[in-house]
Amino acid sequence: MSIDQIRSHFGFTKMPFTKEISPSDLHPNQGRLEAVARIGFLVDESAIGVITGEVGSGKTVAVRKAVSLLEPSRHSIIYLANPALGTKGIYSGIVSHLGESPCFYKTPLISQTISLLASESEKGRKVVVVCDEAHLLEGSQLEELRFLTNSDMDSSSSFALVLVGQPNLKARLRLGTFSALEPRISLRYSVPPMKSEETKSYTLHHLKLAGRTDALFSDEALGLIHQVSRGLPRAVNNLARQALIATFANKSAIVDEKSARQAISEVDSE
């Protein structure tokens, strides 16, 4: 079977439940909306915030949405996705995103970073630094980030810092090791799983984007998908796609309980 065959079978204009979706088309579930609102607050206040959630809960998607709402002419977005780059990598990443070649040695690199952040602020541009997978950051990296936010003698911060990670990030930051950083965190939010009705709405939303406005999934199938996915969007996507494949293979027009169970079995066996 091919994607084109599946699209033709269900009358899709494109395949649903993929990552290739624009921020404007993202499903507005309550957890995601609240995360977006909180990130907006952090940007306005040039503050430090922590956004956590289980794998596949939509943390990074919420960041994408929040960033898409910012005016490019007034904001500089710096997305740091690889914690393995070390402390020097943080400075280099910021400098590169701000359009300069990073200094080779760390001491001048730090000065270069601070100078560039101050320059952006003087130009009236807000810098937003997003550290994804922040639960994997080393203590030294978190300390360097705190140092950067404290570079103006604690009078203000030259950028907003959003730490995005799995739930254990919150526990790590409460350790005595981070006693200087923890009180500076203005906001903490944990992205919750979707509720049952939100999973149904999420599924219908993605089907509509693919050209189907009817109830392609039976209530029983949606109930199973929600139960097994625990309301985590990424898991819903995986199960829904697999259920569509099973339905196509069964030569059926509706994703029923049988197809959903087949999808669950196949995903669990991977």
Are 85 and 166 part of one and the same domain?
A: yes
Residue span of the structural domain in which 204 resides? 3-17+194-268
Confidence of residue 177 (pLDDT cuts 50, 70, 90): confident
* Average pLDDT of the chain to the nearest whole number: 92
Residue 269, pLDDT score: 59
Q: How buried is residue 52: exposed, middle or buried, by Cβ count under 10 Å (0-12/13-18/19+)?
A: buried
For 27-54, the pLDDT digits (tens) are 999 999 999 999 999 999 999 999 999 9
Q: Which amino acid is at 153?
A: M
d(CA 242, CA 151): 50
- 226 & 172 share domain: no
177 shares its domain with 200: no
Of the pLDDT bands very low, low, confident and very high (cuts 50, 70, 90), residue 72 is: very high
User: What pLDDT shows up at residue 74?
Assistant: 94
Q: Residues 174, 56: contact at Cβ < 8 Å?
A: no
Asked if residue 23 belongs to a domain, the reply is no
Number of structural domains (the chain) is: 2
154, 208: one domain: no
pLDDT of 80 over the 90 cut: yes
Range 79-91 average pLDDT: 91
The pLDDT assigned to 20 comes to 83
- By the 8 A CB rule, do 59 and 53 touch? yes
Q: Who wins on pLDDT, 79 or 270?
A: 79
pTM of the complete model: 0.91
